[in-house]
Amino acid sequence: MITTGAMIRLGKTYGNLMVDLRATNNKLKDRSERILVEVCGVSRDEARRLLDAADKSVKTAIVMQKLGVSREVAEKALARAGGVIRRAIPDAPPPVTD
């Protein structure tokens, strides 16, 4: 419970998903693609393209897709939002705490 609350406050989640990860191996690449398919409603191929364009950062890829912006703009938006997707994307889901 404490760890979950900390992860939410640190901006490492999006809804009920842990999204602060980089696709650095096959297992994480698969997980990252599945997260993008679910969160962004894109195909697996589009999820791969987003991850490549986002330098393998799931958070950056989500912001890029949701706002329709480049990696640079998404990274700046995340930086302004303290790394919290909910602050960078107006319609982001609230954190799930149960």
Q: What tens digit of pLDDT does each residue of 54-63 get?
A: 999 999 999 9
3-state secondary structure 19-35: CCCECCCHHHHHHHHHH
User: Average of pLDDT values for 26-48?
Assistant: 93
Average pLDDT, whole number, for the chain? 83
Asked if CATH classification 1.10.8.1080 holds for the domain at 2-88, the reply, yes or no, is yes
> DSSP code of 13?
E
Confidence of residue 52 (pLDDT cuts 50, 70, 90): very high
From residue 73, alpha-carbon distances to 3, 5, 94, 97 in Å are 30, 28, 23, 30
Domain locations along the chain: 2-88
Q: State pTM to two decimals.
A: 0.81
Q: What tens digit of pLDDT does each residue of 55-92 get?
A: 999 999 999 999 999 999 999 999 999 888 888 887 76
By DSSP bridging, strand 13-14 and strand 17-18 are antiparallel
